[in-house]
């Protein structure tokens, strides 16, 4: 009897994003690509997808050029390339108009990407089916992804039926996307067996993060059940919050009797060495050391490996905030471990209440943020659910798709009290076509549409980041940030040389300032600690603070949490201004914290006599936002 073949896919993009903030520059990617080919063991390589192109834009690099040059060596070698896409959200965190989604697949195919892996963070088949249709129209292979999680509603039948629906809707392949690595091995095997029984000829690929510790057993189980492709990483960026290591998987499967490809170890060591050199160059400054550890505490909350970098940064920020409050109120302070356990416990508690959304982008961030807000409020003696951001309300009300489980009665009651109504139509209907608007902007700015109109696509998919890239602001901001990181010696791999002597990091919650010289220009920057693995789109700036007008009846409206203050969330809203009369409960602005916009409502009524903060100003809890009289 012939041994069954198992093929490997290198998730080179996700290796980096599951460890830190940035990915290699295009010159680095082009340098390492031939050696990945020479390893001789990969049938597929993940070359781009959600997050990748925003990161290019963030450090001032053209993502279209990067994707074309990075995919070319694999195209030439006959290695398939694949990308991750977020269905309704395309390549970003927020929903995308249908015409932009359709354009994405045509552009990516032209750039050399063979396979797209659309997933919906809620497993709403409507969102994935649209992507399957658009992808096939664009000439790509549609590998529909099941976002795996483990709960009373996420049964074997749930996933087998979802896969059946997607395959009947045109999916060429199925990916089991175990983004938190919490799927139980035997359970996974039953899912694969169920899908293969219905659709034996459909290729299947398994993707898992290694953090909680199940992944190696899961890989063996799904291979025995019929999966053909396994996603792997390699040192120095395997294990931890990332993915299983190629060498260990190959050895395990070979011993189990599978036909697995051999590895050219000379090429392996070259890729390993180059990857380390990219860390030494600059990427290591954005890798949190704790992301290199596995942690079985993640089994309970089920948080995905890809967001642990941002979680640890958020934890540090919020620890400083809560301990300032506790010190002011003569209460014992928390350690980071105390807060981490409280956060994990709260995620476990609220997850069933918010309808069991699979904890994958963006819903993993939403559930984590809601849990963090609850912990902060409860620690300060306030009520749970007292701060719910608008995009979290959108999730709860079905604007991104149907929740897998029911919303808890207390949240249904709270929604009614806040005038929130359940949305039942197709989520895509909320987002009108926009390409004509962006095409007009390109023409007005005399910007080249690019080969296959790829520059138009980039603007439409990432408007704020693309504009910052075109103006040069993104590159300058990145250079300042990198110089700051080198000066403070941050990161797991601080590089072979630093721009300034490394000094001890200040206490968390106590930012410091430093002067940094970048290309002959001096900048004063504030140092903060931690990194974020995702990107938010910030609103357009509005007026600066207006000086207060004296009034004996003046009352202050204070910030309920710390973050960045915005008077509007986007250009469809009108900012409050001095002279406006507001009622108690009226919206006065937003505080962005942990990548979500929290609506701030006035607890006072009267005429606005001053606005104390400008758009995008940092605010601390209890800072004055506006004064009414």
627 sits in which H/E element:
strand 624-628
Closest CA to 311 of 325, 324, 297, 323: 297
| pLDDT, position 543 | 44
Separation of alpha carbons 115 and 79, rounded Å: 11
Count CB-CB contacts under 10 A for residue 124. 20
| pLDDT, position 496 | 43
**Residue range 134-193, pLDDT digits in tens:** 999 999 999 999 999 999 999 999 999 999 999 999 999 999 999 889 999 999 999 999
Write the DSSP assignment of 149-213 as a string of letters: --SSSS-HHHHHHHHHHHHHTT-SEEEEEETTS---HHHHHHHHHHHHHH-TTS-EEEEEB-TTS
Collect the ranges in the chain with pLDDT lower than 70: 1-2, 303-314, 490-553, 570-572, 594-595
Domain boundaries, the chain: 555-628
Catalogue the long-range contacts made by 321-330 (C-beta closer than 8 Å, 24 or more residues apart): 321/376, 321/509, 321/561, 321/562, 321/620, 321/621, 322/376, 322/379, 322/380, 323/509, 324/509, 324/620, 324/621, 325/379, 325/380, 325/621, 326/379
Specify burial of residue 550 (Cβ count, 10 A radius: 0-12, 13-18, 19+).
Answer: exposed
Using the structure block, give the residue that is written with the tokens 């001096």. 522
pTM: 0.81
The total number of residues written for the chain in this structure: 629
Q: Any idea which architecture 555-628 has in CATH? A: Beta Barrel (2.40)
| pLDDT, position 595 | 63
| pLDDT, position 398 | 94
């Amino acid at each position: 009897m012939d041994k069954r073949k198992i093929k490997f896919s290198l998730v080179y993009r996700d290796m980096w994003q599951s460890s830190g903030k940035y990915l290699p520059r295009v010159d680095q990617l082009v340098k390492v690509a031939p050696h990945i080919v020479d390893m001789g063991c990969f049938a597929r390589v993940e070359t781009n997808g959600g997050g990748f192109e925003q990161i290019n834009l963030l450090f001032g690099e053209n993502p279209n050029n990067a994707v074309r040059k990075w995919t070319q060596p694999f195209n030439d070698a006959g290695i398939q390339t694949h990308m991750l896409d977020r269905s309704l959200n395309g390549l970003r965190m927020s929903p995308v108009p249908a015409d932009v989604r359709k354009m994405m697949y045509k552009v990516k195919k032209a750039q050399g990407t063979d396979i797209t892996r659309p997933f919906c963070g809620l497993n709403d088949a409507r969102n994935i089916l649209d992507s399957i249709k658009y992808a096939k129209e664009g000439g790509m292979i549609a590998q529909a992804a099941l976002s795996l999680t483990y709960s009373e509603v996420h049964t074997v039948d749930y996933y087998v039926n979802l896969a059946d629906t997607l395959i009947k809707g045109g999916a060429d392949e199925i990916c089991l996307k175990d983004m938190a690595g919490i799927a139980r091995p035997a359970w996974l095997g039953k899912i694969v067996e169920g899908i293969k029984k219905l659709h034996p000829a459909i290729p299947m690929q398994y993707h898992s993060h290694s953090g909680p510790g199940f992944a190696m057993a899961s890989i063996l189980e799904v291979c025995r059940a019929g999966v053909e492709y396994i996603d792997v990483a390699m040192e120095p960026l395997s294990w931890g919050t990332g993915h299983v290591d190629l060498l260990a998987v190959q050895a395990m499967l070979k011993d189990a009797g599978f036909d697995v490809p051999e590895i050219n170890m000379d090429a392996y060591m070259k890729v390993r060495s180059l990857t380390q050199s990219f860390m030494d160059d600059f990427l290591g400054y954005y890798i949190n050391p704790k992301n290199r550890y596995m942690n079985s505490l993640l089994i309970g909350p089920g948080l995905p490996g890809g967001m642990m970098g941002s979680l640890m940064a958020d934890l540090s920020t919020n620890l400083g905030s809560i301990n300032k409050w506790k010190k002011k109120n003569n209460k014992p302070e928390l350690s980071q471990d105390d807060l981490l356990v409280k956060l994990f416990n709260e995620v476990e508690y609220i997850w069933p209440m918010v309808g069991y959304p699979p904890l994958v982008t963006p819903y993993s961030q939403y559930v984590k943020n809601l849990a963090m807000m609850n912990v902060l409020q409860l620690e300060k003696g306030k009520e749970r659910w007292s701060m719910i951001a608008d995009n979290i309300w959108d999730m709860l009300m079905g604007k991104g798709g149907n929740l897998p489980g029911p919303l808890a009665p207390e949240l249904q009651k709270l929604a009614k009290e806040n005038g929130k109504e359940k949305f039942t139509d197709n989520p895509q209907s909320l987002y009108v076509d926009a390409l004509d608007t962006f095409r007009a902007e390109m023409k007005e700015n005399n910007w080249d549409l690019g080969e296959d109109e790829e520059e138009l696509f980039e603007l439409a998919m990432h408007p704020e980041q693309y504009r910052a890239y075109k103006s040069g602001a993104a590159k300058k901001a990145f250079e300042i940030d990198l110089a700051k990181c080198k000066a403070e010696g941050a990161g797991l791999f601080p590089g072979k040389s630093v721009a300034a002597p490394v000094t001890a990091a200040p206490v968390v919650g106590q930012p410091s300032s430093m002067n940094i010289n970048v290309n002959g220009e001096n900048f004063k920057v504030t140092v903060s600690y931690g990194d974020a693995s995702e990107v938010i789109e910030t609103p357009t700036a509005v007026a600066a603070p207006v000086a207060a007008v004296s009034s004996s009846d003046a009352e202050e409206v204070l910030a309920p949490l710390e973050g960045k203050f915005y008077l509007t969330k986007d250009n469809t809203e009108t900012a409050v201004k001095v002279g406006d009369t507001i009622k108690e409960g009226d919206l006065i602005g937003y505080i962005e914290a942990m990548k979500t916009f929290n609506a701030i409502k006035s607890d006072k009524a009267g005429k606005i006599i001053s606005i104390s903060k400008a758009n995008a100003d940092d605010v601390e809890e209890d800072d004055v936002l506006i004064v009414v009289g």
